[in-house]
Amino acid sequence: MTTASPSLRWVKSSYSNNGGTCVEWAPEHAAASGTVPVRDSKRPTGPVLTLSPRAWSALVELARHTAL
């Protein structure tokens, strides 16, 4: 885990209108580096989880199929 870089362009989850529980990721960084940075949108200067593309894909699929 690292801290958020101010130079990254972060994109919120398409489900960000669900009451503030949001995940953001940095797609340009992912494309350029092969690692996917993920953070909590409520903590923009907080820790960043760095995932492999495969792990990111699995996390997205899990979220899609998990009832809240």
SS3 27: helix
Strands (E), 1-68: 2-3, 11-12, 23-25, 36-40, 47-51
- pTM equals 0.76
Contact 2, 39 (CB under 8 A): no
Query: What pLDDT was estimated at residue 18?
Result: 59
The domain total for the chain is 1
Helices and strands, number each (H, E), in the chain? 2, 5
Give pLDDT, residue 58. Answer: 94
pLDDT band at 20 (very low <50, low <70, confident <90, very high): low
Give the structural domain span for 6: 2-64
